[in-house]
Chain A
Amino acid sequence: MIAAYMEELAGALGFDPALSARVLPEIRDHLEDALSAESIGDRAEAERRVIARFGDARELAGQFVTISLARHTRRASVAIVVATLAVVVLMKARTLWYALAQWTFSEEARATAQLVLTVDRYAFWLAAATGIASLLYVASYPTPVRPHAHYRRHLRHAAALFAVTTVLLGVVAASDLVLTALQFRPEIGASIPVVAMSIEIGCLGAIALLVARAARHAANAQDLLRR
């Protein structure tokens, strides 16, 4: 009976496999302790009493939903700030390398470069501001017991901040790509800005994946609550 209960709980916690792996051994341990404390007699009856005292598996899994949502949201907000910092480092490294290698824009490209540089700068500062805002916003909300309407609204706002930051970082990466292309010279050392650009695009891709995963996770958790 305990095995069947554990199976049901594992299924109900399927919306977050990492959380499930952390929680299940603890609960199995608890049920074994509770069973040992039961008076000697009919084992099936003792297991039934232990499970009845522990509570419904689906109801229990539902109580882990907000914990899981909070963990995914916090992870996404930290990743966004880390990615923004990585973009700063890569931008600075590339600028330094351009100066050392004496890469400059041609006369014809100068006006375009100036426009793209302005877009790049504003998009970056806006991304940094929304990224930090999302981190503070997410950290400011303590994990509630239940995903009540106010918490769901908080999650929607956090998701909107993540989406805006990701789009802005996308604009930054695209601008950086254009700026690199405008002054690119296929000579020795040219691989350095190309590698830096690849890392920047990789960071952006990782962020987009993480945000999409957090959104998918939130949808799965909502499904569990509706069932």
Chain B
Amino acid sequence: MEGEMLKGHLDMIVLAALATGPAHGYAVIEEIRRRSSEAFDLPEGTVYPALHRLQQAGLLSSRWVTAESGRRRRVYALTAHGTRALDERRAVWRQFSSAITDLLAARRRTPA
């Protein structure tokens, strides 16, 4: 899929990836890849500025946890504000997607 097209929706994609529960950056990318059936192929690093930007906007919270391996990881979670923002974006996207689908479905009429 086009990189620029994805970048325009990156915040929504990251919020959606965290809708199933808190996760660290690597797991967020894995989740995006899995749920998009590998269709979204962004440079993995791109997700970190998005995570920090969303946290700055109050849509995500983060905390450091120690994994079983002993490695410390920063885990992100949706805040209540983030959950509401995702619901709103989901509704807007459905409307937009439905309109585009209808538009693209229209075919040129063949002259009688």
Contact A71 B24 (CB under 8 A): no
Secondary structure of the B contact surface, majority rule = helix
Contacts of B89 in A (CB 8 A): none
Per-position binary interface string of chain A over residues 57-80, scored 1 when its CB falls under 8 Å from any chain B CB and 0 otherwise = 001100110110011000000000
Q: Is the CB of B7 within 8 A of A29?
A: no
Interface SS of A by simple majority? helix
Chain B residues with Cβ below 8 Å from A101 are none
Chain B interface residue count, Cβ-Cβ cutoff 8 angstroms: 20
Is residue B71 within 8 Å, beta carbon to beta carbon, of the partner chain?
yes
| Closest CB in chain A relative to B26 CB, distance in Å | 4
The reply to whether A27 and B53 form a contact with Cβ atoms under 8 Å apart is no
Contact A145 B49 (CB under 8 A): yes
Q: Are B49 and A25 in contact (CB under 8 A)?
A: no
Contact (Cβ within 8 A) A53 B44 = yes
Q: How far is the CA of A26 from the CA of B46 in the complex (A)?
A: 13
* B 22-57 contacts with A by CB, 8 A: 24-26, 43-46, 48-50, 52-53, 56-57
Interface residues of A (CB under 8 A from B): 22-23, 25-27, 29-30, 32-34, 53-56, 59-60, 63-64, 66-67, 70-71, 142-143, 145
Contacts A/B (CB < 8 Å), 25 sampled: A26-B24, A26-B25, A26-B48, A26-B73, A26-B74, A27-B25, A29-B26, A29-B72, A29-B74, A30-B26, A34-B44, A53-B43, A54-B43, A54-B44, A54-B45, A55-B46, A56-B43, A59-B43, A60-B48, A67-B49, A67-B53, A67-B56, A143-B56, A145-B7, A145-B49
